[in-house]
Structure 1
Amino acid sequence: MSDDCVKAYLHECLRWVREAVLAKLDGLSEYDVRRPLTPTGTNLLGLIKHLATWEARYFGEVFGRPFPGPLPRWDDEAERGADLWVTEHETRAEVVDRYRRVWEHADATISALGIDAPGRVPWWADPDVTLFNILVHVLTETTRHAGHADVLREQLDGVVGLDAESMVPSGRRAAFWANRRARIERAASAAELRAGVSSSASPPVRPQR
């Protein structure tokens, strides 16, 4: 497979998963896209803000093509984690628009450079990279956060799906998932009971003399 084919394939995968993450916001209130849904505060709009910040950085300054907009410093402890949540003064439209502008900037970098074009990531232990390394890294990170978004959205209203087309709510699908969940719950409870019975049936361990 040629280098151009590899780059095109990775780029297309990245384009698809970006849209999939954004689709998780569709139909939700301002509160629900921002509300913390894990003990560490993970939230849907914060994931978008985080992805925008780091994609801008990886396809920007890493290749000497800085994104034309302010970014928090990566080496400032006071800024650490600020990209993972959205204040009441930031609108959903602003966060989403910024992510889309980051896509345009990143796409231009990907199109302009060869897959072996050199870059430098100063916050990595081994900072010398190529466009291939960064494409794989950003695709991996975006896919990982897409999985987080899948679970967060399901917690909010039960809507599931890999992309906007497959996220259409359906009473029939809701019944299917309710039955599936009940079946898994029964299996988990039975396994717990079985483990308890097995443990109580084990003979006592005699002390060594």
Structure 2
Amino acid sequence: MTPATGSTALDGRRRGRDLDELAAGSGPIDVLVIGGGVTGAGTALDAASRGLRTVLVESRDLAFGTSRWSSKLVHGGLRYLASGRIGVARESAVERGILMTRTAPHLVRALPQLVPLLPSTGRGRATLVRAGFLAGDLLRLSAGTPARVLPRVRRVGPAETAELVPAVRRDGLTGALVAHDGQLIDDARLVVAIARTAAQHGAAVLTKVRADEVTGTSALLT
């Protein structure tokens, strides 16, 4: 099987050629990826970019399952800090920064998160929230994500709070704490973009193809 490097096309012509080469048994396959979600597409890209002969098969369509119905939040790992998983938290922040600046800046944007400061919030809780937001900002800094991409944590007054969230309760409102995280505009588009990049590196990306009788060395594709 000869990788068709250089082209990102996932059209009928390429599909037919890839299927013909597989049917003809034109050389061994190094990596068979089963599933065309974001993990499968990313695995295919990683393998193909390392020069491995890679085939990705998906019985339905790219991003058919969970990858199409995600929360669309590209979080920076703040939730992992609460359990002390500092390494995972920083890795999440780094990956978020890569998505926002290199991989898919057209698909990931900054999402403001606002916590209103009301009498019911209490000083202790407000301090805790601010500490959490500042910790998230430190993760952003450690990941090298610039503030022009992901704005710094800030406190805003009552007027700006009401402008940002018109439905906020006004009685006793003294302002709000605002932090930002990453928001994925379209998760399916991201999966397709990764799959096309894998194809550019020579991977065969085949939808409507099932993998049965899978072992460590073989599989039946139908």
TM-score bin (small chain)? under 0.3
Q: With CA pairs under 8 Å and 6+ residues apart, which has the higher RCO, 1 or 2? A: 2
More helix by share: 1
Could you tell me the TM-score, scaled by structure 1's length?
A: 0.24
